[in-house]
Structure 1
């Protein structure tokens, strides 16, 4: 039984590590550049992530940082928007 607990803990630890890796955000100025470069409004990002426009503005400026789960979603959104913008430019 102890072995399963250790294995379960290892699985949970790896899952958390994956979320932390996925949550890496670009620097604040780059966040704004990615969003604006795609022609997406701050309000659009806020609505997509389920936060207020003020919260989104703080995240974008680096005045506040999202919690882990929100951070993962924000990082993913930024990566997808950046990729879509790059594809369009090619």
Structure 2
């Protein structure tokens, strides 16, 4: 019975990790910059929200480096929210 519990715990952890990886899917680097710029948000502001340096965000946007998993999830969420807010503000055709 204990083996089933361990397997169940492992499966739950694996599913949690898979969910975090899915949540952290990022657009291509140039699209990251486009989303931020279209919203009129500065590198400084993004960096402050993500608690990283402006240079770090700049490197992510240029594709020089990639965020770790925890930062990736936060960054992906921020990009989705900013993109959605920018889309909502534009008048419909």
Gaps (5+ residues) in structure 1?
none
TM-score computed with the length of structure 2 as normaliser = 0.95
Larger Rg: 1 or 2?
A: 2
Q: Which runs of 4+ in 1 moved over 3 A?
A: none
Paired residue for 1:26? Answer: 27
Alpha-carbon distance in structure 2 between the residues aligned to 1:4 and 1:77: 36
Alpha-carbon RMSD across the aligned residues, in angstroms, is 0.5
Gaps (5+ residues) in structure 2?
none
Aligned residues: 90
Paired residue for 2:39? Answer: 38
2:58 maps to 1:69 = no
